[in-house]
Amino acid sequence: MPAFIYEKKGRIAYLTINRPEARNAMNSEVWDGLVKAWTDVEQDPDIWVAVVTAAGDKAFSSGQDLKEMAEWMAIPEDRRPPMPLPEVNPMRGMQVWKPIIAAINGLCIGGGLELAMACDLRIAADHAKLGLAEVKSGVIPGNSGTQKLPRLIPFAKALEMLMTGDLIDADEACRLGLVNKVVPYDQLLPEVEALANRICENGPLAVRAVKELAYRGIEMSLAEGLRLEIEVGARLSKSEDAMEGPRAFAEKRKPVWKGR
């Protein structure tokens, strides 16, 4: 069985880590699949939303495959192949403006949480546990964890999670804003797909524009963000979709989006 599965159903792409026997730890095959799929989601005009999840009901991902990493480190330095964890990956350096939803189906720690935080929206099964436990092993969550967690939840709570390495349950993650919603496991994918389909009802270029503005704007001053909003809005106004929306409203029908 492949360690990573990439499928497309209508306007939605599904990225699935398929190593339930290893708590969906990310090995080189998974990384290769993630990088290629992330690129394809960005480039395929027929894909409007992506869903990231994992096989089974035990783990979204336990993070980097430490067994593979130890084997790699045992190879003499002058003969080592490239590191199993690519430097440019979905958590760092690969920006996609299409919305991406994480369906967190269980344990979500270390690199698993970093992957979930690389997504825009997160829905968790009610038995999920989340955290960055690297300090317990004397290392850091160095694939975006130290930077993204404090941007998503209250700073003091992020520091507590980072410094203790303790996990939190799904309800606490929702209360802190780390996940958007918590549902029973058997409702997880239906809930995520319902959210993805609601997003797909909107103008895809507009959805991408608001994502871009939110992510870029949060790093700017308000004045700079407002200027960026005008710039992106002007660009969007020239699209066919921007003309279709008002026309459909006037004609009392559902808009037919073309993504251009």
Which region among 39-43, 105-109, 244-248 has the lowest average model confidence (pLDDT)?
A: 244-248
Residue 187 pLDDT? 97
Q: Among 166, 184, 170, which Cα is nearest to 128's?
A: 170
Among the candidates 177, 200, 223, a domain finishes at: 200
Q: Strand 168-169 and strand 129-131: pairing?
A: antiparallel
Residues 54 and 156 in one domain: yes
Quick: pLDDT tens for 110-166.
Answer: 999 999 999 999 999 999 999 999 999 888 998 899 999 999 999 999 999 999 999
- Residues 6 or more apart whose Cβ sits within 8 Å of residue 206: 236, 241, 242, 245
Residue 232 pLDDT? 95
In the chain, the number of structural domains is 2
| 3-class DSSP string for 10-70 | CCEEEEEECCHHHCCCECHHHHHHHHHHHHHHHHCCCCCEEEEEECCCCEEECCECHHHHH
Mind telling me the catalytic residues? 114, 134
Question: Is 15 a domain residue?
Answer: yes
Residues 160 and 214 in one domain: no
pLDDT mean over 240-259:
85
Bigger pLDDT: 106 vs 252: 106
Is residue 203 within 8 A of residue 242, CB to CB? The reply is: yes
Res 46 pLDDT > 90: yes
Residues 150 and 237 in one domain: no
CATH assignment of the domain containing 181: 3.90.226.10
Domain housing 21: 4-200
Does the predicted TM-score (pTM) go above 0.85?
A: yes
> If phi over 0 gives left and psi between -120 and 50 gives alpha, with beta otherwise, what is residue 25?
beta
Residue 203 pLDDT? 93
3-state secondary structure of 107: strand
Bigger pLDDT: 11 vs 1: 11
Residue 81, H or E segment:
none
pLDDT mean over 202-211:
95
Question: Is 53 a domain residue?
Answer: yes
Residue 13, CA distances (Å) to 23, 228, 259 in order: 22, 29, 16
Res 202 pLDDT > 90: yes
Residues 117 and 131 in one domain: yes
CATH assignment of the domain containing 239: 1.10.12.10
pLDDT mean over 214-236:
95
Percentages helix, strand, coil for the chain, rounded to the nearest 5?
A: 50, 20, 35
Res 207 pLDDT > 70: yes
Distance CA 229, CA 232 (A): 5
Residues 66 and 43 in one domain: yes
Question: Is 129 a domain residue?
Answer: yes
Residues 218 and 178 in one domain: no
For residue 233, name the pLDDT band (cuts at 50, 70, 90).
very high
Residues 147 and 238 in one domain: no
Quick: pLDDT tens for 53-89.
Answer: 999 999 999 988 877 666 656 677 666 666 667 888 8
Residues 209 and 193 in one domain: no
The 8-class DSSP code of residue 199 comes to H
Mean pLDDT of the chain: 92
Res 259 pLDDT > 90: no
